[in-house]
Structures are given as C-alpha cells and as structure tokens.
Structure 1
Amino acid sequence: MNGRHDAHAGLHSAEGARPGEHLGRAVNPVVKVVDLAWLEFEKPDLRRAEAFAHAFGFATASRTEAELQLRGTEPGSPCIRVRRAPRSRFLGPAFRAAERSDLKRLGDAVGSRVVALPESIGGMAVTLVDPSGLRVRVVCDTRELDALPAPPPLSLNFGERLTRINSTQRSPRAPARIQRLGHVVVQTTRYRQTLDWYLQYLGLIVSDFLFFPGQRDRGPVMSFIRCDQGSIPVDHHTLALTLGPSNRYVHSAFQVADLDTLAAGGEYLQDHGYRRSWGIGRHIQGSQIFDYWRDPDGFLVEHFSDGDMFDNTLEPGWAPMTASGLSQWGPPATRDFLGISPGPESLRELLSIFRAVGGNDNEFDLRRLFGLMKVART
C-alpha cells in the first residue's frame, strides 16, 4: 500500500479495499480544504433557535433581526449561521481553504467568481453546487473570534494510576460547552458522483466505506471523509455522504470536552424539555462517544467527544452497513435516529422512495432499496 500502514485493526473496519475498488482519494485534486468552517441554516424563529442553542452548549457570537451566529469556545469562525426565513432548511456547509489563491483556482475550475462575504463574517468565498444540488462555500481570511474561557480538563483516576486524591468529582448539570464544529452528514441520490466531486474539487479523502450487506459488488453506499492535511492528524470525518432516496441533511456534530460534560449536558437538555434522539454510546467508524438530539425545528444534532484523528497515510476501511454496527456500546439505534419513526419526515422519505425507484436519474434503485431495508432490520 505504498508504504502506508494498515488502518483496519480491531473495530476500525472489517477489511481494506479489494482490487479495483474505489481508492478513496483523487490523484490530482483542484484544492485541499483544511476544515469545515461553518454550517448555514434558515429558520423562522431565531429566538427559539437561540434558546435551544444555549441549552445545547453554544454561545452567541452575533445576533441581529436577520441572522444568528453561534460559536464554540475554540478560536475561529462561528460554527453555525442561521438566517431568518419563512421555513426551516439546511443551506449547506462552508469549508476553509488554506490560501486565498485556492479560491481563485477553484472558481476557475467550476466557473464561479470569488466574492467578499458580509462584514459580519469577513473574508472571501467561492460558491459551488455539488451534484446533489447542495450549495457549498469555500472561504478564506474570515474574521477570527478569540477563544472563550473553558473549564479545565477533568482529573481522572484510571485504576492504580491516580491523578485525583483528596478531591471529589462533581460535574455540574449544565449545558455541555461546545468546543467546535466536527462534521456534517448528508444524504444524496447520486452518491458516487457526489463522492467523486468532493474528492476531486475539495481534496477530501475517505476514511471508511460502508456497503449494503450482499451488495459489495455494486460499490459503497456511504463514506466517512476527512480533510487531507498531510502528516497533521484531523478528524476521522469532516463530511459523511450516504446514498438514499432524497437529497437532504442528516445530522451535524459538535465536540465537547469529555463524557462527563456530554452526559451532564444531556441531563440538562432533558430537564428543559428537549428530545433525545439516540444515545449515549460509542460509534465504530470514528470511535467517538455520541449523544443525538432534535432541535425545535427537527434538525438532528450531535454532541461528541474522543473521536479518532487520522493523518493522510491511512487507506479507507470497508465494512457492511448495519444498524447494529453503528455503535460499539450503547442503546440500540432508535427509529427516530434511523428516520423510520412515524411523522412528517418519514412520510416525506417514503414518498421520495417511490419517486427514486421509479426514476433513472439517481443511484437509488429497487435493489438498493432492499439493501437499505435489510440494514434497518439488522
């Protein structure tokens, strides 16, 4: 594997690629983005959105009648930008370029101009549209927010290795302070085309592929994708793509300090009437401790901690997609998390299934539908 070491130990993945399978990276990408910058949403009620955000652990970076910007404790740009609009929707992600010249090169490649961003955020951006129709910004030189005060790390005892003596551990039942944006997951009807687009234009690389049981010969249906910063370790995934009957937001994830912070923050959210979707547990792909919640507009958001960090030497792992394979430990994946609990969202997805399997402009055919149904049963 060209000197790269094996990534497929333990629970990372079932095995590596077979001859002829997807390499998980582009040979000569246009640019290599260095991270997610922020996510953009529209919502009708910014006060309600801000109230949940504070309970979830965000701080307000900026708020006007037209826009809400939410941040974590780490320095940098806001994690989320929410604009007031008649209905709720996810507009798309913004990725950070290493240099302003990358914006020009990317704009030339897709026929898009580099433009100045609003004064409230600063910097420059080029706007693209991926094959699913999702708007994607790549930004540079945005205004940097200073770090916020953060609690010191917990002092933990590990068996005979003692770091806390004559002192107690009392994690407050309080909002889990968000440190930073981790990743976003989106569903696409054109998975392979969309995957290759992100690898070619943004220089992302695949950490793990999942395939429907019994359908590996048809290729993967989900990929966990990270930025390529060479020898610098980065999150196991910054973006995850999954094949489905519609193009839609699935969830986004935000890092908190540790398990105690995550668990106590969940207690606080429950005390204030918010709805847990699934958790607490530890994932397999990415290894992070997770806890999923629904915001008042129905968007799925995740607290996570202790995720895997990879450099660019690891080749993609390959594993079958199963509901039971979503976690190493924790409660079974809920119907809400899987998107199959009764309600408007599952009804829209059901209607999308009928449209997708009856059309020929997407990759979600009848056999893929059977594969997805098998996943839900496992």
Structure 2
Amino acid sequence: MEIDAPAATAAADVHQGLHSELGALRGEHPGRARNPVLKAVGLGWLEFVKPDLDRAERFARDFGFVVHERTPDRLSLRGTFSALPCLVVRRGHAARFVGPTFLAESVADVRRLARSASANVLPLGGGRAVHLTDPSGFPVRVVAGLEPPAALAEREPLALNLGTEPVRFNTPQRAPRAPAQVQRLGHVVLETTRFRRTLEWYLHTLGLIVSDFLYLDDLRDRGPTMAFLRCDLGSVPADHHTLAMHLGPRVGYVHSAYQVTDLDAVAAGGEHLADQGYRRVWGIGRHIQGSQIFDYWRDPDRMMVEHYADGDLFDSSLEPGWAPMSASGLAQWGPPVSRDFLGSTPGPGMVAALLKALGDRTNEIDQDTLKALAKAMSA
C-alpha cells in the first residue's frame, strides 16, 4: 500500500526537522497500514532453543538477566522492570531462534486477530494467545491477559555534572564493574529474503508503524530494504523500533537488544563480559537510527545480543525517515563496524545461502540486489 508524499528537495526540509534529513519521495511507502487488524502494544518475549541450559544461564547472569524460572528443560529470564520475562530458552539439540511474542492490549484484540487469521485462541498462563506465521516463516505469538511480575531493585542512573549545571559535589563517580542489570527487552532484528511481503504483514496484522526506512542507493526505485518498526501507541511515545528487519540472502535471527540504565552500565557491563572471556562483536558506539548507545556481544551459542541505553522514543505523529543503507551509516560515533556484525564473513555457509537465495524465484534476491547489498556493506 502506497500513498503520495512530498518530493524531497535540497532546498526544503521535507521531514519538518524531525528525526531524518530525508523523507519519502512521491509515491513511496507510507510506513503504516490504513486499517490494521490490531495495534500491538509491545514486544513480550523471545524464544530460543539451546543445547546447554547451564551454559546459557551462566552467560545470562553475566549479561545482566535475572533468572525468573528454571527447570531441567526450560530457562526463563527477566529484567528489573515490571515486565514479563523477556527470554524463554528451551533445551534442544541445536541452538536456534524460535520466534517473538507480541503483546496485545486486550483479549478481545487477540480474539479479533484469531478470527482474521482463521486461527485458534489458546490458553497461555492466565491469558490468551494466538499463534501465527509471518511470510518469512517465523512463528509469531500474540498474547494478552498476562500479569507481569513486580519490579526488582536496581541502581539509579549515575548523576552527571553537565556543563553549567553540575549536580554532584564532594562525591566521586564509581561505576561498579559488574553485570549490567538488564531492565527490559527492547527489540529484535530479523533478516529475510521476502522483505516487502513480511513488512506488509507486520503493518497490517500487528499495526506496527515505520520509524525509519533504509534503501539501496542504486535501487531506491525498488523500495526500501530495511525497516525499523515501532508500536503505534498514539500520543504515548514508544521505542524507535520494537522490530527491525532487512532484506538479505538468509532468513533468520540477527540480534536482540536489552535496555540498561545508562552509558556506565553499558561500559562497565561490557568490561565484566570481557573479564569472563566473552567476545565483543561491535561497540561501544551510538547508532543513527534510534540513537541508542550500543555494545554487541556473542553468547556461547554465537547468538548476537546488545546492551543499549538512551534510545529514541517516538509517538505516532512522526513519519518515516529515509536514508541510504551503508555500513558507515549505522553509527554516529564508535569503532568501525565489524564484519562479524554485518554478517559478511566469507565461508561455506555464506556461499550456500547466496546460491540458495539466487535459485529461489519467489523471493526478492537477484544479482542486482546482491551487488547493491555488497556495495552498501562496504561503504
């Protein structure tokens, strides 16, 4: 679904000085559906399968999660905020991402979504859920009626002496070199070979709206190739993105991000992870889209996870920003982006994925797209 938008020119600020230097060109995607089935109010949790739950728990504690429940075959992890446990890890033969669970405002919304999708409403804890599959093949659960646990104690953000308004006197600053204390789940990022169909599904089915689009500079006429989507909470500000997804030769999990209280939590938490022998993927830096201070790590199963702080919050009035996709456009400051983060390390798996994607005529991958993606990731 597309609508006309003002043409972008160098002489006029087409985005009204909001969050992006560029807006849509005439006829480009508006970034939202006119009549979505429902409007999801948040990302509840993510589900993974891992072969060694003891190892998964050790990393989780070092990363800053709190164990909510543990059985021989299931590990549930939470943050300090009063929110549902943000990760569920089940025992299985090989590590893999299963899918996300989104939160609906009411059980009535879940029932309406089930009717629209010809799916069943199922009991889940004290609530109700519907199980769907997006066009990329990811299982997506939508749930309502669950009660979050009470908040946990955590340290307050450090008081900062800023410019002409100092607030800290006769007190030195000492950030603890310890796990970062995850507050909550922020977002998940997915890669798909069917970007356009999957984007439309999340806009229509869950009522997500786009904060920013990225496009391939040589192929903008084909439309965007990455979208940062937030929940539409009306006048209430929401995270810049709850779900992000981009076009690529593979279908799968890219990373998930977890909020901590401030920059010192990101940095000191990272020092603790390094002390424990874990590997940093990229960071510390500050993103452009979303503005988060970030730090990326690999867990023992090579799943990528992010600590972040100070992310953007948008209400529903902001229209999508548009920017060319490039490696250098991922951060305002920080070290150069790593090949590990970009997923561009050569290897048999990458070659096999490229050949499989090119051989599938039902997806959006062709030689021109792959060349443009390679150019963007080297820019």
Normalising by the residue count of structure 2, what TM-score does the alignment of the two structures yield?
0.95
For residues 69 and 366 of structure 1, do their structure 2 counterparts lie closer, same or farther at Cα, with a shift above 3 Å needed?
same
1:18-29 equivalences in 2 (<5 Å): 18-29=25-36
Rounded to whole Å, the distance in 1 between the matches of 2:81 and 2:74 is: 21
1:35-74 equivalences in 2 (<5 Å): 35-74=42-81
Rounded to whole Å, the distance in 2 between the matches of 1:32 and 1:250 is: 24
For residues 313 and 85 of structure 1, do their structure 2 counterparts lie closer, same or farther at Cα, with a shift above 3 Å needed?
same
Structure 1 residue 94 corresponds to structure 2 residue 98: no
Contact 1:77 1:143 in 2 (8 A): yes
What residue is the counterpart of 2:23 in the other structure?
A: 16
CA offsets, 1:70-92, max 9 Å, x none?
00000021010001111111000
What residue is the counterpart of 1:78 in the other structure?
A: 85
Rounded to whole Å, the distance in 2 between the matches of 1:220 and 1:87 is: 33
SS at match of 1:146: coil
Which of 100, 109, 118 matches 1:111?
Answer: 118
Deviation, structure 1 residue 8? 6.2
Which of 233, 241, 244 matches 1:240?
Answer: 244
For residues 266 and 40 of structure 1, do their structure 2 counterparts lie closer, same or farther at Cα, with a shift above 3 Å needed?
same
Structure 1 residue 135 corresponds to structure 2 residue 139: yes
Deviation, structure 1 residue 7? 5.0
What residue is the counterpart of 1:327 in the other structure?
A: 331
Rounded to whole Å, the distance in 2 between the matches of 1:168 and 1:350 is: 53
Deviation, structure 1 residue 156? 0.7
For residues 58 and 312 of structure 1, do their structure 2 counterparts lie closer, same or farther at Cα, with a shift above 3 Å needed?
same
**Identical counterparts, % of pairs:** 57
SS at match of 2:60: helix
Rounded to whole Å, the distance in 1 between the matches of 2:61 and 2:85 is: 14
CA offsets, 1:43-95, max 9 Å, x none?
01111000000000000000001110000000021010001111111000000
Deviation, structure 1 residue 338? 0.8
1:1-378 equivalences in 2 (<5 Å): 9=17, 12-117=19-124, 119=125, 122-342=126-346, 346-378=347-379
Q: Give the length in aligned residue pairs.
A: 369
SS at match of 2:44: strand
Rounded to whole Å, the distance in 1 between the matches of 2:134 and 2:16 is: 30
Rounded to whole Å, the distance in 2 between the matches of 1:357 and 1:14 is: 34
Which amino acid in 1 is paired with 2:349?
R
Which amino acid in 2 is paired with 1:112?
A
CA offsets, 1:285-320, max 9 Å, x none?
000000000000110000000000000000001100
Rounded to whole Å, the distance in 1 between the matches of 2:230 and 2:158 is: 29
Which amino acid in 2 is paired with 1:363?
E
CA offsets, 1:178-226, max 9 Å, x none?
0000000001110000000000000000000000121111110000000
Which amino acid in 1 is paired with 2:173?
Q
Deviation, structure 1 residue 356? 1.1
CA offsets, 1:153-179, max 9 Å, x none?
211100221100000100010000000
Rounded to whole Å, the distance in 2 between the matches of 1:224 and 1:359 is: 26
What residue is the counterpart of 2:10 in the other structure?
A: none
Which amino acid in 1 is paired with 2:62?
A
Contact 2:107 2:127 in 1 (8 A): no
Deviation, structure 1 residue 14? 3.5
SS at match of 1:363: coil
Deviation, structure 1 residue 126? 0.3
Rounded to whole Å, the distance in 2 between the matches of 1:143 and 1:98 is: 12
Moved more, 332-341 or 185-194: 332-341
Rounded to whole Å, the distance in 2 between the matches of 1:172 and 1:43 is: 30
CA offsets, 1:319-345, max 9 Å, x none?
000000000000000011111235xxx
Which amino acid in 1 is paired with 2:373?
L
Deviation, structure 1 residue 112? 0.8
Deviation, structure 1 residue 42? 0.5
For residues 145 and 7 of structure 1, do their structure 2 counterparts lie closer, same or farther at Cα, with a shift above 3 Å needed?
farther
Rounded to whole Å, the distance in 1 between the matches of 2:238 and 2:348 is: 37
Normalising by the residue count of structure 1, what TM-score does the alignment of the two structures yield?
0.95
RMSD: 1.5
SS at match of 2:270: helix
SS at match of 2:218: coil
Which segments of structure 1 move beyond 6 Å, counting only runs of 4 or more? none
Rounded to whole Å, the distance in 2 between the matches of 1:358 and 1:81 is: 35
Deviation, structure 1 residue 124? 1.5
Q: Which runs of 5+ in 2 are unaligned?
A: 7-12
Rounded to whole Å, the distance in 2 between the matches of 1:333 and 1:354 is: 26
Which amino acid in 1 is paired with 2:95?
S
Q: Which runs of 5+ in 1 are unaligned?
A: none
